[in-house]
Structure 1
Amino acid sequence: MSVRILLLLFLLMTCGVRAQGFAGLGTDAEGFSVPEPGRELVFPQDHGPHPDFRIEWWYLTANLKDENGADFGLQWTLFRSALRPTAGKGWSASQTWMAHAGVTTGEDHFSTERFSRGGIGQAGVTAVPFSAWIDDWRMTSLAAPGNDSLSALRVFARGPDFSYDIALTASGPLVLHGDNGLSVKSASGQASYYYSQPFYTVTGTITLPSGRFTVSGRAWLDREWSSQPLDPDQTGWDWLSLHFDDGAKLMGFRLRSRSTDAYTSATWIEPGGKTTAYGDGVLKMTPGRVRRVAGRDVPVEWRLQLAERDLDITVRAINPQSWMETLVPYWEGPVTAEGSRRGQGYLEMTGYE
């Protein structure tokens, strides 16, 4: 997502900082840069890292099918976190890196993660030419000269029981969320810079214990950075990206709070890339069927309503047991959408205990 940074809990565990809000994302941002209205996002520079901000990620999800029509979901994420506002070098560098990868089928869910300290070459991101990596996991630009560097990518990751190697080509523009890329996350004004490339077509291979599969489909890349994206009272979120069969797309999230109503936000994306942003309360996200997942009660079915677009749909998990067994565990997996529109996409849910 956007708001999806789980990395800071790793920071808190390693540095002994007291958590505020979910995973400490409401922690005071003193000394770090913070998102401000009026800043124009600049490309390709903003495809790269922003070390003066505390947290950042490059987040890819994909809905795929094999040659027999079986469904697969795929996730590749690289998180960056700054331990302190000063830079440092080598092992003293202030940047830490964490990566997550996952593959989901209708019957199985596989996940793994990796960690690195910045400054030693094991992990990092460069804007020009674009490349993001940790160990041998890679997200690398294949774009032709003159095109946006995220318009074509190759992505690779592997874990103990899976691997994938895919190529992505974008057929539409980058999308800015919120107010020209400033995405507000709470009534008290916490925010992040947030943009996406939601127009990828995908081809490639996935290797699982059951065999090697040739797959194709659609993918969505999120880019987001901030220093205090959540209010201290917020406890977790429910985030969705959806590709509808008519070419329209939707990003929406609901941030849950201990003491107030959930805060919502959405971006409607037309087939040609034109966007409409919807602020708090416009998108209605109502949890439905609940399943017991990893010892937690998790809603794996949702009703989404966006009256301004005559949208009333039910979103269902392809595999309700899509639990990421990572240092900070969470639910992440592919979904289908039925109702006033049909489609598919990805759902992420955090903070369920």
Structure 2
Amino acid sequence: MNVKAFLLACLLPVVAQAQGFAGLGAESEGFAMPAPDPVFDFPADHGAHPDYRIEWWYLTANLQDADGRDYGLQWTLFRTALAPGEAAGWTSPQVWFAHAAVTTPERHFATERFARGGIGQAGVQAAPFRAWIDEWALQGPDFDTLTLRASAPDFAYDMALEAQGPLVFHGADGFSVKSAEGQASYYYSQPFYEISGSLDLPEGSVAVRGQAWLDREWSSQPLSRAQSGWDWFSLSFSGGDKLMGFRLRQTDGSFYTSATWIAPDGTTTAYPDGAFSAAPLDEAQVAGRDVPVRWRVQLPARDVDVTVAAMNAQAWMDLAIPYWEGPVEVTGSHDGRGYLEMTGYE
């Protein structure tokens, strides 16, 4: 067995349990649990929370080149824990993995990395901010000014990000409820990054710029046992408003939903279960399964009734834990661009 195969054999059972979507409803005895009325502490909370079972730093970006051609970019660092707490060296219970992807209208590129905590191979430092795994890194003097670099055999990117607005908090001041039973996470975002840099693709290097959105979330049991996956939308409208909305699919065929309306100045309005809806309009055969790639998204309280369509229907993350993630176009009552993530489609 080679080193990579050995590491995968060791890490995948942990990753599958912690981030395997339905597995996020597993019991989490011994881990800390999110509670209402959180008090965030920055910059410390940009860093890791090892007493919680699962956490991520999740960046997506809608990009264009000088000719107006669209691209999408994703970079995500995940932390999951065998046990709460941290320790030095190989005794650390923390496991890290990361995904990087680029989407064009014709192709989708994706790759992943795995690491154990405690040995310096991966981690997050709050100030100055640095999130890394091997040579991949999202870092800067603070959370507002960052660079991002990642590479794979068939693609790479080197980007600069500058925040143009404040952090925003989802749910009740960052306490984001995910089920009728009360499972929840701590969840905030920086959806106001301007991003620019270069994509290196098989056909060559291309200069791009656009808008990026970074999600921060941590919990120990964010789903209930009756939930099998989610459909998550981050939409930026041409008028400057933004919308985060998700529906969590219940095993009985119903949905649990939540949404946040984000004004251009960063003011937020949270919407509870039932206020937001997302209904598939078309499916495509993706990696041997039927996956919704065009949606009707509605938030009547804001007169939102839009069609959200994948730029590339085949944006399948064919990784150790497979899911769909890609850029979308928004038309209808509002127009714009965004990102869509769909998990649990077996």
Which bracket does the TM-score occupy, shorter chain normalised? over 0.9
Which residue of 286, 294, 300 maps to 2:287? Answer: 294
1:80 Cα shift? Answer: 0.3
1:39 Cα shift? Answer: 1.8
Which residue of 248, 252, 271 maps to 1:255? Answer: 248
Inter-partner Cα distance in structure 1 for 2:318 and 2:52: 27
Residue aligned with 1:28, SS: coil
Which residue of 201, 225, 229 maps to 1:208? Answer: 201
Deviations 1:56-77 (A, max 9, x none): 0000000000111110000000
Residue aligned with 2:25, SS: coil
Residue aligned with 1:288, SS: strand
Distance 1:276 1:160, change over 3 A: same
1:262 Cα shift? Answer: 0.6
Inter-partner Cα distance in structure 2 for 1:18 and 1:77: 18
2:98 is matched with 99
Which residue of 317, 322, 326 maps to 2:310? Answer: 317
Residue aligned with 1:300, SS: strand
Which residue of 175, 185, 189 maps to 2:168? Answer: 175
The question of whether the paired residues in 2 share the 8 Å contact of 1:235 and 1:255 is answered with yes
1:164 Cα shift? Answer: 0.1
Deviations 1:172-208 (A, max 9, x none): 0000000000000000000000000000111100000
The question of whether the paired residues in 2 share the 8 Å contact of 1:20 and 1:26 is answered with no
The question of whether the paired residues in 2 share the 8 Å contact of 1:252 and 1:266 is answered with yes
Inter-partner Cα distance in structure 2 for 1:283 and 1:241: 13
Please state if 1:33 is matched with 2:32: yes
Deviations 1:250-280 (A, max 9, x none): 0000000112511000000000110000010
The question of whether the paired residues in 2 share the 8 Å contact of 1:53 and 1:82 is answered with yes
Mapping of residues 12-31 of structure 1, within 5 Å: 13-14=12-13, 22-31=21-30
Please state if 1:226 is matched with 2:219: yes
Inter-partner Cα distance in structure 2 for 1:266 and 1:11: 37
Please state if 1:241 is matched with 2:234: yes
Inter-partner Cα distance in structure 2 for 1:117 and 1:304: 39
Inter-partner Cα distance in structure 1 for 2:241 and 2:94: 37
Which residue of 328, 341, 350 maps to 2:343? Answer: 350
Inter-partner Cα distance in structure 2 for 1:103 and 1:234: 29
Residue aligned with 1:352, SS: coil
1:16 Cα shift? Answer: 10
Residue aligned with 1:25, SS: helix
Which residue of 275, 278, 297 maps to 1:304? Answer: 297
TM-score, scaled relative to structure 2:
0.95
Inter-partner Cα distance in structure 2 for 1:10 and 1:182: 35
- Kindly provide the amino acid, as one letter, of the partner of residue 334 in structure 2: R
1:87 Cα shift? Answer: 2.9
Distance 1:347 1:20, change over 3 A: closer
Identity of counterpart residues, as a percentage? Answer: 61
Supply the RMSD in Å over aligned alpha carbons.
1.8
1:88 Cα shift? Answer: 3.0
TM-score, scaled relative to structure 1:
0.93
Inter-partner Cα distance in structure 2 for 1:342 and 1:324: 26
Inter-partner Cα distance in structure 2 for 1:188 and 1:350: 21
Distance 1:11 1:36, change over 3 A: farther
Count how many residue pairs are aligned between Structure 1 and Structure 2: 339
Residue aligned with 1:272, SS: coil
Inter-partner Cα distance in structure 2 for 1:221 and 1:10: 30
